């Protein structure tokens, strides 16, 4: 059993990971009779962890958007090139800018996704 001087901070961080609301974690600390300064310290750590996870999630959403735009550019560039070649004319369009730009954007977006 832990004394009141030694608080199992990891337990409360795990509660936040499990999706327990911020106010419920605070209520658990108050119910155990911890001092206000210790509660504030633990809640600050929990809040920092929640904010860090939200930042990673937002970054991942943006990275997937960038990767999606890159994929669209790549497919569009390849589509235009293949279409103009399939027309059978003596000249056709190679959209290397769109293809390479799309490929670069796709790789950039995928490389920034974090777990």
Segments making up each domain of the chain, as ranges: 9-111
Residue 34 burial (CB count, 10 A): 17
CA–CA dist 17, 48 (Å, integer): 12
pTM above 0.85, yes or no: no
pLDDT recorded at residue 2: 43
Asked if 15 and 28 count as a contact pair (C-beta separation under 8 A), the reply is: yes
Number of neighbours of residue 42 by Cβ within 10 angstroms: 21
Is residue 80 within 8 Å of 72, Cβ to Cβ?
no
CB 40 within 8 A of CB 69: no
Look at residue 4 in the predicted model and tell me its pLDDT. 47
pLDDT for position 115: 64
pLDDT recorded at residue 6: 57
| Local confidence pLDDT in tens for the 115 residues of the chain | 344 445 677 888 888 888 888 888 888 888 888 888 888 888 888 888 888 888 888 999 999 999 999 999 999 999 999 999 999 888 999 999 999 999 999 999 999 987 6
Helices (H) and strands (E) in the chain, counts: 4, 0
SS3 at position 2: coil
């Amino acid at each position: 059993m832990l004394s009141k001087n030694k608080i199992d901070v990891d337990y409360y961080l795990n509660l936040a990971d499990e999706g327990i609301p911020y106010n419920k974690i605070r209520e658990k600390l108050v119910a155990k009779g911890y001092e206000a300064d210790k509660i504030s310290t633990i809640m600050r750590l929990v809040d920092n962890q929640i904010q860090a996870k939200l930042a990673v999630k937002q970054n991942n959403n943006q990275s997937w958007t960038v990767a999606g735009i890159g994929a669209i550019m790549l497919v569009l560039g390849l589509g235009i090139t293949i279409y103009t070649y399939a027309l059978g004319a003596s000249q056709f369009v190679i959209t290397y800018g769109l293809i390479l730009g799309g490929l670069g954007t796709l790789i950039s977006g995928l490389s920034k996704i974090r777990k």
